Amino acid sequence: MNFLKIVCGASALVFFVTSCGNRQGSSEQAPPQKYPTAIVNRQDAELKSVYPVTIKGKEDIEVRPRIDGFIESIYVDEGAVVKKGQSLFRINSPQSEQALTSAEAALKSAQAQVNIAKVDVNRIRPLVEKNIVSMVQLETAQSTYESALATLAQAEATLKNARATMSWTNVTSPVDGVVGTIPYRQGSLVDKNNILTTVANTSNVFAYFSLNEKELSTFLDNLEGTTQAEKIRNAPNVILTLADGTIYGQTGKIETISGTVNTTTGTASFRAEFSNIEGKLRSGTSGNISIPRHIENSIIIPQKATYAQQNKVLVYLVQGDSVVQKVISVLPTPDSKNYVVTDGLKDGDRIITDGIATLNHGKKVSVE
């Protein structure tokens, strides 16, 4: 019995010592982790809004035949640079040729009738003066002559129209520009419903893009002027980025904004004009257009200092020895590395700038 008591007492003693050691170790806490921080302040910022664009020539004109017929000759190739009035196609139109031949014959016949009627008038007039024939015969001859003159005038008009129609067999370029695709070849039967090609005047080009209602309102609110026309005149020059990522060498100018919003897409259409003297821009190509915006006295923070949660952007704001979550409103900068804070922060606020993945609301930190 005494042995058992001693053993039990020793066990209890060991348990007590062990328990005390565990409690002593748990009371030791690790020091707060250090995080890099920054105190926000205000500075000027340059932003840009980017939109997809479609580029078209200043004049993109469809070339159609004005008469029915077969393509007899093609004088240009696709991509050729042409001048206004330059021949593009020759149309073989038998009907037009027949109409011209008939008109020429009709004119000769009408001219002959005029000559005969005039001879009659000249023959009868002296006889009337000598009272050999009555005045009625002269008046009749005079009427016949005037009718022949009218027929002649009609024949001349018909011939003029026939010649004009024949001139349409030579299809010419309506403007200076570049020839598009040519879907038809020699021998093809064409009519006015067929597009032979297009000629694009690309000395200047138009870039078309769209903004939704909210973007349109923000864009106009940030421009000086009272009317839309004044605001457009004060709009900054825009930058064109081509499909291969290169930036076009010349800036453009916004020329027009549609007066209505498309009810299907909810957008308003914009048109910017770019000079294309070197011919680098082609009608039908695409790219992106950037509208710069200067913001003065703004707060800029690195994007890595933020995180998204439920479609909101948040930062960790340092308060004392801990951090709190703060919802902010931001605009991205062109370099995609920073944000311009439009709401949620003020001068002097200190935020965590890195390592935010290991933070949570209320966590104690040590700032560098």
Q: Kindly tell me if the per-residue pLDDT of 22 is higher than 60.
A: no
Which CATH number is associated with domain 94-167? 1.10.287
What pLDDT does residue 11 have? Answer: 42
- Strand pairing report for 34-35 and 366-367: parallel
When pLDDT is averaged across residues 68-94 and rounded to a whole number, the result is 94
Per-domain residue ranges of the chain? 34-45+298-367, 50-57+201-295, 65-90+171-194, 94-167
Q: Kindly tell me if the per-residue pLDDT of 287 is higher than 50.
A: yes
Find the radius of gyration of the CA atoms of the chain: 44
DSSP state of 31: P
Question: E-strand spans in the chain?
Answer: 34-35, 37-39, 42-63, 69-74, 81-82, 87-92, 170-172, 177-179, 189-190, 197-212, 239-242, 253-257, 267-275, 286-302, 306-309, 312-319, 322-332, 338-343, 350-352, 366-367
What pLDDT does residue 209 have? Answer: 95
Specify whether the backbone of 272 is left (phi greater than 0), alpha (psi in -120 to 50) or beta.
beta
Q: pLDDT band at residue 325, thresholds of 50, 70 and 90?
A: very high
103: number of CA atoms within 13 Å, CB side? 20
pTM, two decimals, is 0.63
CATH for 50-57+201-295, options being 2.40.30.170, 2.70.98.50, 2.60.40.2300, 2.130.10.30: 2.40.30.170
Which CATH number is associated with domain 65-90+171-194? 2.40.50.100
What pLDDT does residue 41 have? Answer: 86
Q: Classify 134 as helix, strand or coil.
A: coil
In tens, the pLDDT along 24-67 reads 444 556 788 899 999 998 888 888 889 999 999 888 899 999 99
What pLDDT does residue 98 have? Answer: 93
What pLDDT does residue 151 have? Answer: 94
Q: pLDDT band at residue 167, thresholds of 50, 70 and 90?
A: very high
What pLDDT does residue 29 have? Answer: 66
How many CB atoms are closer than 10 A to CB 144? Answer: 17
Q: Find out whether 183 and 198 touch, Cβ atoms under 8 Å.
A: no
What pLDDT does residue 110 have? Answer: 94
Residue 57 token pair: 């020539």
Total residue length of the chain: 368
Q: Kindly tell me if the per-residue pLDDT of 13 is higher than 70.
A: no
When the pLDDT of each residue in the chain is averaged and rounded to a whole number, the result is 88
**Second-level CATH architecture of 34-45+298-367:** Beta Barrel (2.40)
